[in-house]
Amino acid sequence: MICIPITASTTDEAIRDMKKGAEIADILELRIDYIRDLDIAKLIKEKSKPVIVTPRSQKEGGRFKGSEEERAGLLREAVRLGAEYIDIEFSTDERLRKGVIEESRGTKVIVSYHNFTETPSDIKELYDDIAISGGDIIKIVTFANSINDNLVIFDLIKGHEKRKDIISFCMGRHGEISRILSPIIGGYLTFGSLEEGKESASGQIPARVLKSVYRVDRLGQEINIYGLVGNPVSESMGYLIHNLAFAELDLDNIYLPFLVEDINSFMTGFKGLFKGLSVTMPFKEEVIDLLDGIDKKAEDIGAVNTVVVKDDKLVGYNTDCSGAIMALEDRTEIKGKNAVMIGAGGVARAIGFGVKGRGGILTITDIDTDKAISLSKDIGCKYCNPDELGNISMDIFINTTPVGMYPDVDRSPVPDSLLKEGMIVFDAVYNPIKTRLLKEAEAKGCITIPGVEMFINQGVAQFEMWTKREAPVDIMREIVLNKISA
Ligand SMILES: NC(=O)c1ccc[n+]([C@@H]2O[C@H](COP(=O)([O-])OP(=O)(O)OC[C@H]3O[C@@H](n4cnc5c(N)ncnc54)[C@H](OP(=O)(O)O)[C@@H]3O)[C@@H](O)[C@H]2O)c1
């Protein structure tokens, strides 16, 4: 189930937010500690979905300033008014806590614990202590300092033997995956914000994303987990294209953002949990030593952006390369053509090996000549200085520098005098979709290829390797184009 916390500061505003929240949530949490002019009877009268009444104390991250007796009094009032749930902290004075629990009648009591600095490893003992203290549902929320802290919560949810219902996840940027997975693997509910800016805790994801992208209210425990490993991961569009494509084919798969600092401990801790990974910066090279096998092209390139689990073995691929080559070959044959590529970084490496492998006559240039020389040696092609570009015959021009990328959209990596009618111009930059380079190339009568084609192709290739199903390409393309233009 999805619960939306209502964090409005007045009763009337809270009622408006309750109406909006009820369209998405299964349950609403009334954070009455946020409300300055609290009218609890009015709030409960207006509910159209079950509510949790929570007067969160300051020591547990809330805003309630009154005494413990006053807090217990509000909870008793919520019971009397017919709230479906109340939340009382495990740290509340034992006598008051027991009194509230004894008088809870038909209202379910959530006994909660919050740790804002870490995820203690002895969390199961804490669960046992809370379980014997009474109440109906145990809530244990901790802070994730690394992605592996989520594993402690997953073990807790899966291993609590259903003695009592449990709500458990990690807060913070590293805890997002437990907010998504906990209701799927057996947790009672997860919290999602009404909208960005209305979160009640760090790392909270908008409820509409939990529902319509991650399908947390529909997926069951038998799911295949995929995800993006990188740092940062928040700007990636992968979670949208893969999750919505899984939904389109009605697959019980989910794609998660794995925000990782140490790829080694991630791969050790999460091995067996995932069926496939996308890999992004800064781990495309480092991941190779942690795999059981690697595709020949990815080995030549020296970078892996896709991991597929085959018979429990991790195998690495590079779909950046195949994605770019597909985009080029949709417009032209590469064999025998003079291709010039500007930029000698990671993307250049993937595309360069691809162009060379298809028989293109490749020249590389970069502002950093040493980098261009080094990459050209690895690939076995030529290099030149950027100011020599006018002397080189070009059938295909490829930009792999970030020049022209949002917000620097008025720049182009080369003067338009280099662009000639009939040339193929491929810009790896995909935001904006039509870069200045592509606009100028179009005006000169060139055939243009936007970077978004490469981006979609690499995602489609990952999807098809993981699922062995034909990807819903049109839907994936529409998602990417809508997201970039938004
Ligand atoms: N379409 C897709 O699927 C896709 C996927 C990933 C990335 N991209 C795009 O590709 C771009 C490059 O990514 P990357 O990972 O390869 O980045 P990278 O490793 O930083 O490589 C960029 C290279 O371009 C060089 N450079 C920068 N400005 C230049 C200029 N004016 N003239 C010549 N060389 C210049 C850089 O040199 P210095 O290091 O000296 O600055 C660097 O060697 C990204 O910015 C992104 O827009 C597209």
Residue owning the nearest CA to atom 21 of ligand 1: 345
Predicted confidence band of residue 160 (pLDDT cuts 50, 70, 90): low
Is the previous residue joined to 282 through a cis bond, with omega within 30 degrees of 0?
yes
Instruction: Tell me how far CA of residue 165 lies from CA of 99, 114, 156, 158, 162, in angstroms.
Output: 21, 17, 12, 11, 6
Q: Does the annotation count 320 as an active-site position?
A: yes
Q: What percent of the chain has pLDDT over 70?
A: 99
pLDDT in tens, 82-93: 999 999 999 999
In the reported structure, the alpha carbon of residue 77 is separated from the centroid of ligand 1 by a whole-number distance in angstroms of: 61
Residue owning the nearest CA to atom 6 of ligand 1: 347
281: closest CA among 313, 325, 234?
234
pLDDT in tens, 183-214: 999 999 999 999 888 888 888 999 999 999 99
CA 183 to chain centroid, in Å, comes to 17
The 8-class DSSP code of residue 204 comes to P
Residue among 295, 320, 366, 395 flagged as catalytic: 320
Q: Is the CB of residue 68 less than 8 Å from the CB of residue 88?
A: no
Q: Does the annotation count 284 as an active-site position?
A: yes
Q: Which residues have CB under 6 Å of ligand 1?
A: 342-348, 366-368, 371, 386, 400-403, 405, 413, 428-430, 451, 454-455, 458
pLDDT in tens, 403-444: 999 999 999 999 999 999 999 999 999 989 999 999 999 999
292: closest CA among 314, 270, 316?
314
Q: Write out the H or E segment, with its range, that includes residue 192.
A: strand 190-193
In the reported structure, the alpha carbon of residue 334 is separated from the centroid of ligand 1 by a whole-number distance in angstroms of: 22
State which ligand 1 atom lies nearest to the alpha carbon of 349.
16
Residue 162, pLDDT > 70, answer no
pTM, 2 dp:
0.92
Predicted confidence band of residue 164 (pLDDT cuts 50, 70, 90): confident
Question: By three-state DSSP, how is residue 397 classified?
Answer: strand
Structure tokens at 41: 């009877």
334: closest CA among 358, 350, 363?
358
Residue owning the nearest CA to atom 13 of ligand 1: 347
State which ligand 1 atom lies nearest to the alpha carbon of 348.
16
| Neighbour order of strands in the sheet with 424-427 | 382-383, 361-365, 338-342, 396-399, 424-427, 447-450
Give the chain's domains with CATH numbers: 2-222 (3.20.20.70), 227-321+457-485 (3.40.50.10860), 331-451 (3.40.50.720)
